[in-house]
Amino acid sequence: MKLWKGRFSKEVSDITNDFNASIGTDARMIREDITGSIAHATMLADCGIITPEDRDAITDGLRAILAEVEDGRLPIDEKAEDVHTFVEGELTKRVGDAGKRLHTARSRNDQVALDVRLYLRGQTAALDALLKKLIGTLCDMGEAYADAVMAGYTHLQRAQPVSFGHYMLAYGEMLLRDRQRLADCVKRMNINPLGACALAGTTYPTDRFETARLLGMDGVSRNSLDAVSDRDFIIELSAALSIVMVHLSRFSEEIILWCSTEFGYIELDDAFATGSSIMPQKKNPDIPELVRGKAGRVFGDLTTILTVMKGLPLAYNKDMQEDKDCVFDAVDTVKACLTAFIPMLETMTVKTGRMRAGAAAGFINATDCADYLVGKGIPFRDAYAVTGALVARCIELGTTLEALPLDEYQKACDRFDEGVYTAVGLEKCLADRRSYGGPAKENVLAMAQALRGDNENTGA
């Protein structure tokens, strides 16, 4: 069935049909399409534009179609141009003229704009729930490893002591911002474009505020041209999802490094790792590698929608049909990544002994040694130089600051005494970093608690 016969004297070619069709992509919005149509029919009847009898026939017909599609009794016709055409055609087959009245005071332009908003609203909530779960896991890990000392890095060189718990909570903070961004996206996504019709509203006495209310939307788009042309909400969501992927990809990179024999900080559970077809010894971190790779795909989805939209005049243009594949792909990809990432993280073994050994061998207490001298009245710059020379001496002797004999210390600066060994002890170096946001155990525990609270109070 075509919704636009009449003016045409020929059947449209199969090539045009196939090229034009979007049913393969938009069929997944059938629930939203039907929900929107039920709200539209309800409003039309309440405004006296259709009769209550027609409304009931439409509503019952649409509900039956949805139920049958969802339980597999009614296959979606792949030959239909799009989901809107399929639903209207099926409805008209069932309820006759009432079905033909459904599209009064509506166009597919406002209809599709509504469907995508409703569909992405649901998807955003599902993504948000996954992010919330992941943050909860990171809070658990933050608490469990609040005093598991490890080297923090800059330039991927061992730098200063942190704890594994502190590290996990750093990712938790990023993902919390991601949840806040999703919640912010929903504010502008959950606005009703329906009733803008093709581009210029309608002469029928419609009530767009009623449809918004029926659909649980937070407002009504103010300008009909903007209502059918705006895809900012897709761009915004794709951007927010790209940032999620930046975070997951950085985290994945660390997990990949930490699984290597060279680091040995963690081991993935056998159920969440893979083997090699040729090298029997291999245990590969495929999940984080794929997550890192799929980040590229989501960034591509963002680039697609930005590029589709950048040159379009108002109002609807068929180019805009290209808005869905990319954002659906972004949503599916991020969902799949989170679904694999969470249990992988929950089941991995954390090798705190290896982390401590890595921390002990990395002179990450050198700043604390310099700070110790500052405590003895030496200006920081001089203390820094003395400590640098001591590190060089340790490397020469194949030892560490913890084990360097006191006479070596005193040769470098006569202010050193036995107290230096306490000062450069890794546990003390960690415990003393009590500045707000720093890795001292009590800070990390408080951070985990605060993050849990924010995680409870955020939502998209």
Enzyme catalytic residues:
155, 276
Q: Is residue 85 involved in binding ligand ARG (CB under 6 A)?
A: no
Token pair for residue 97?
């003229």
Q: Is residue 112 near ligand ARG by the rule CB under 6 A?
A: yes
Q: Which residue's CB is nearer to ligand ARG, number 32 or number 82? A: 82
Distance separating alpha carbons of residues 127 and 185, to the nearest angstrom? 12
Compute the least distance from the CB of residue 193 to ligand ARG, in Å. 12
HEC sequence for 312-360:
CCCCCCHHHHHHHHHHHHHHHHHHHHHHHHHHHHHHCEECHHHHHHHHH
At 293, which amino acid appears? G
In the complex, the smallest distance separating the C-beta of residue 230 from ligand ARG, rounded to whole angstroms, is 13
| 403-432 residues near ligand ARG, rule: CB under 6 A | none
Q: Could you give the CA distance from residue 364 to residue 158 in angstroms, rounded to a whole number?
A: 6
Question: In this chain, which stretch among 60-68, 108-116, 218-226, 342-350 interacts with ligand ARG, using CB under 6 A?
Answer: 108-116
Q: Which is nearer to ligand ARG, 27 or 378 (CB)?
A: 27
Q: Which is nearer to ligand ARG, 78 or 218 (CB)?
A: 78
Cis previous bond, 315, omega within 30: yes
Would you say 233 and 226 are in contact if contact means Cβ atoms under 8 Å apart?
A: no
Q: How far is the CB of 108 from ligand ARG (least distance, A)?
A: 4
What size, in residues, is the chain? 460
Closest among 158, 161, 141, 137 to 149, alpha carbons compared: 161
Q: Does 233 bind ligand ARG (CB under 6 A)?
A: no
CB of 19 to ligand ARG, least distance (A): 12
Looking at the Cβ atoms of 328 and 409, the one nearer to ligand ARG is 328
**What contacts 133, CB < 8 A, 6 or more positions away?**
342
Closest listed residue to residue 368, CA positions, set 425, 317, 413, 311: 425
Nearer to ligand ARG among residue 167 and residue 328 (C-beta)? 328
Rounded CA separation 314/321 (Å): 14
Nearest distance in Å: CB 97, ligand ARG? 24
Query: Of 24-83, which residues contact ligand ARG (CB under 6 A)?
Result: 26, 82
> Are residues 316 and 228 in contact, defined by beta-carbon separation less than 8 angstroms?
yes
| # residues near ligand ARG by CB under 6 A | 10
234 scored as a contact of ligand ARG (CB under 6 A): no
Least Å from the CB of residue 200 to ligand ARG: 13
Instruction: Please tell me the distance from the alpha carbon of residue 227 to that of residue 409, in angstroms, as a whole number.
Output: 73
Which tokens sit at 409? Answer: 């210390």
**Which range in 106-114, 205-213, 232-240, 241-249 contacts ligand ARG by CB under 6 A?**
106-114
Neighbours of 205 (CB within 10 A): 9
Which positions from 313 through 332 interact with ligand ARG, judged by CB under 6 A? Answer: 316, 318, 320-321
190 forms part of the interface with ligand ARG (CB under 6 A): no
**What is the spatial distance between Cα 236 and Cα 213, in angstroms, rounded to a whole number?**
24
Rounded Cα distance, 138 and 421, in Å:
34
One-letter identity of residue 81? E
End-to-end CA distance of the chain, in Å? Answer: 38
Per CB under 6 A, the segment of 107-115, 160-168, 243-251, 441-449 that binds ligand ARG is 107-115
Binds ligand ARG (CB under 6 A): choice among 40, 106, 108, 121? 108
By beta-carbon proximity to ligand ARG, the closer residue of 316 and 341 is: 316
249 neighbors 291 (Cβ within 8 angstroms) = yes
Q: Please tell me whether residue 109 binds ligand ARG under the rule CB under 6 A.
A: yes
> Which amino acid, residue 264?
G
**Distance, CA of 71 to CA of 86 (rounded, Å):** 17
CB of 227 to ligand ARG, least distance (A): 13
Interacting span for ligand ARG (CB under 6 A) from 39-47, 125-133, 312-320, 449-457: 312-320
Cβ proximity to ligand ARG: between 221 and 352 the closer is 221
Structure tokens at 452: 């849990």
- Letters for 341-380 (x = contact with ligand ARG by CB under 6 A, - = none) are ----------------------------------------
Q: Whole-number minimum distance, CB 440 to ligand ARG, in Å? A: 54
Of 22 and 192, the one with the shorter C-beta distance to ligand ARG is 22
Return all residues near 426 (Cβ < 8 A) that are at least 6 apart: 149, 161, 356, 359, 360, 364, 365, 402
Is 95 in contact with 57 (CB distance < 8 Å)?
yes
Q: CB of 319: closest distance to ligand ARG in angstroms? A: 9
**Contact residues: ligand ARG, CB under 6 A:** 22, 26, 82, 108-109, 112, 316, 318, 320-321
